[in-house]
Amino acid sequence: MASESGRKPELRKDLVSNHWVIFSPARAKRPSDFKSKAPANPDQPQHQCPFCIGHEHLCAPEIFRVPPDNPDWKIRVIQNLYPALRRDIQPSSSHNHNLVANSVLDGFGFHDVVIETPLHSLQLGDLSPQEIAQIFLAHKKRIEQLANHESIKYVQVFKNHGASAGASLSHSHSQMLALPIIPPIVSTRLGSTKDYFDQTGKCCICEIQSEDLLINASTNFISLVPYAATFPFEIWIVPRYHSPHFHELDAEKAVELGGLLKLMLRKMSLQLNDPPFNFMIHTCPLHGDGSELAYTHWFIQIVPQLTGVGGFEIGTGCYINPVFPEDAAKVLREVIVPESE
Amino acid sequence: MASESGRKPELRKDLVSNHWVIFSPARAKRPSDFKSKAPANPDQPQHQCPFCIGHEHLCAPEIFRVPPDNPDWKIRVIQNLYPALRRDIQPSSSHNHNLVANSVLDGFGFHDVVIETPLHSLQLGDLSPQEIAQIFLAHKKRIEQLANHESIKYVQVFKNHGASAGASLSHSHSQMLALPIIPPIVSTRLGSTKDYFDQTGKCCICEIQSEDLLINASTNFISLVPYAATFPFEIWIVPRYHSPHFHELDAEKAVELGGLLKLMLRKMSLQLNDPPFNFMIHTCPLHGDGSELAYTHWFIQIVPQLTGVGGFEIGTGCYINPVFPEDAAKVLREVIVPESE
């Protein structure tokens, strides 16, 4: 099949993540034939759902809602009922240079949930750009609150859509996990973008060459398949202006970003058969010394779940992607989203 | 539920992988209640299987078999019909200090399959310690052959058992992928074990404190749950003697290792409801300068597939493990494997 597609396998290193990915056309069907075998298809009955409007008493405590103090809410930010980390224990403070002593921390942190709509039947891609903007602005507001805690080093915003992507409830929601450490992927990214900056004087995300990889563009954002995409049909949405922290986003740009995210979710759903997916907001750590601001640049990563992970990936941290990024970008660029949507 | 188990969440850093893992009892059922919901349960009909004895003509070319030149073979090492990397293209050789130019390599490499038994009905855990030893010795022999290629930097041996662990054929087999790069997890491990060595003068795997984490031990090997296990019921099998390269294994120790691996697979199958699993052999890169030999130490990692990966893990590289390693080790230590097996 390699000869059919005219491509040989290739290893590419992502300059942002510093990870190698193997592109292996011999293992692929045609890029346009990729479909999810397990559509997300949420079907949990509404009367049991704690995230639906009117069921607020089934949830852990609320942090804030949008609009404030309104029973007819559009978004609620609440505590996670089963938090991975706990806000009610003391953050660890002692640090020394002993490797063994530094290998454990008490599980202090915040694990919140953002209920993205009061209605069970709507998914994120069904909302308007303005409604999606309000969700981003809720993330922003909550990050600003969490940044007041000196012990919180990083806030990971993420969404799991579909059971096989990790969602335990089908009502549209995202999560925020505020961590007392800088996680490994973030440390590696900082090291990698710093290397690029030291060598070129530029931010490597500002410098992304998007021609063949571009999906869509708006005034302030582009969506693209990254040069060394880890997963087939992985999508990044990147600000065209240099911006280290996601929570610098303003209300006007949030609507534009909401429109581009909606377009990507609609294209993914139409082209790939409503796949389960994850999205992650990658941003700059909190409380840095400022030197990192020149070479960090926030972006959104969207990963449809189309292939599994096996022993090779667990063992090496290298991924095998059967779809070349240029091919995935072309397929996604050409998806026609009906006007009525 | 945290109060029931008497445990608070904890973050632990693995000294070998240098990665943080969040242990979160609030999200767990009791450790003894963990069961696979999707047993591996291979059920592919035998008449279609290319790996069965008599179907050799359906396979890509053979590299060697055990015993040699015998139609009644026990093990076959063959080329993968859909290789991720190709042995028939030139390895990339040019290297310079330009980050962008160094971010792509032609996909040279070797992707082989080890058919572990001629019989479709047997899985790895059904084989005798002596038969499993022969499989390890086939891996060893093939690594020694691959090491003759100067461009091959690392050989990853791995096994995917069960469709959701990445196996496309149910006939028992493992895979070997010989890479022209040192993969990211291996580089990180080398950096981490070097740091420990520089600080203590010791190999951190030789130093593993196994009391609470021990599952079983034999003369030359121990099986344990690592201190910061990434996945629930993850198991490591570690030589008790310092040994950088897996391919130093001799025939006598291979039988002992086969016995301990068999015991772990039987315990996992009994306790966790025959879960899909991966195993990986972690070893020292080929062609080092020798300085790394003091602080690298091969081991086998076994990962039963019990939980999925979501946006948090993809975004951060941090994993959330609901089962404390001490609890998982106790459960696995106490599994009774029937004598007749």
Task: Please provide the DSSP assignment of B243-265 as one string.
Answer: -S-GGG--HHHHHHHHHHHHHHH
> Which are the contacts of B212, defined by CB distance < 8 A and separation ≥ 6?
B325, B326, B329, B330
pLDDT at A1 over 50: no
Per-residue pLDDT at A4: 44
DSSP annotation of B177 reads E
Average pLDDT over residues A278-299: 96
Q: Chain A contact for B101, CB < 8 A?
A: no
| Token output for B168 | 């496309």
Contact state of A303 with B314 under an 8 Å Cβ cutoff: yes
- Compute the distance between CA of residue A109 and CA of residue A149 in angstroms, rounded to an integer: 10
pLDDT at A38 over 80: no
Per-residue pLDDT at B307: 84
pLDDT at A317 over 80: yes
Is A311 within 8 Å of B160 (Cβ atoms)?
Answer: yes
Per-residue pLDDT at A279: 96
- Compute the distance between CA of residue B24 and CA of residue B4 in angstroms, rounded to an integer: 13
Reported confidence tier of residue A27, pLDDT bands at 50, 70, 90: low
Reported confidence tier of residue A216, pLDDT bands at 50, 70, 90: very high
In degrees rounded to 5, what are phi and psi of residue B126? Answer: -85, -15
Domains of chain A: 10-87+107-333 (3.30.428.10)
Output the average pLDDT for chain A. Answer: 91
By 3-state DSSP, what share of chain A in percent is helix, strand and coil, each rounded to 5? 30, 20, 50
Contacts of B181 in chain A (CB under 8 A): 11, 20, 318
What's at A42, amino acid-wise?
P
Percent of chain A residues topping a pLDDT of 70: 91
Per-residue pLDDT at B153: 96
Task: Work out how many CB contacts closer than 8 A connect A with B.
Answer: 230
Is B256 within 8 Å of B237 (Cβ atoms)?
Answer: no
- Compute the distance between CA of residue B267 and CA of residue A108 in angstroms, rounded to an integer: 34
Q: How far is CA A66 from the centre of its chain?
A: 22
Per-residue pLDDT at A99: 60
A194 CB neighbour count, 10 Å cutoff: 16
Mutating which of B4, B7, B11, B186 best tests the A interface, going by the most A Cβ atoms within 10 A?
B11
Q: What is the largest CA-CA distance in chain A?
A: 62
pLDDT less than 70: residues of chain B: 1-6, 26-28, 41-46, 93-101, 340-341
- Model's pTM, two decimal places? 0.93
Task: Look at residues A58, A57, A74 and name the one whose alpha carbon lies nearest to residue A66.
Answer: A74
DSSP one-letter string for A133-182: HHHHHHHHHHHHHHTT-TT--EEEEEEEESGGGT-S--S-EEEEEEESS-
| Token output for A139 | 């993330």
Per-residue pLDDT at B2: 39
Cα atoms in the Cβ-side hemisphere of radius 13 Å centred on B148: 4
- Compute the distance between CA of residue B73 and CA of residue B66 in angstroms, rounded to an integer: 6
Per-residue pLDDT at A18: 85
A32 CB neighbour count, 10 Å cutoff: 14
| Residue reference for tokens 């991966």 | B278
pLDDT at A97 over 60: no
Torsion (CA) A330, A333, A337, A341 in degrees, nearest 10: 150
Contact state of A185 with B85 under an 8 Å Cβ cutoff: no
Q: For B299, name the nearest residue in chain A, comparing CA atoms only.
A: A315
B64 CB neighbour count, 10 Å cutoff: 15
What's at A145, amino acid-wise?
Q
pLDDT top residue among A327 and B94: A327
Per-residue pLDDT at A95: 57
Chain A, 151 to 210: residues with Cβ < 8 Å from chain B are 154, 156, 158-160, 164-167, 175, 177, 179-181, 183-186, 188, 195-196, 199-200
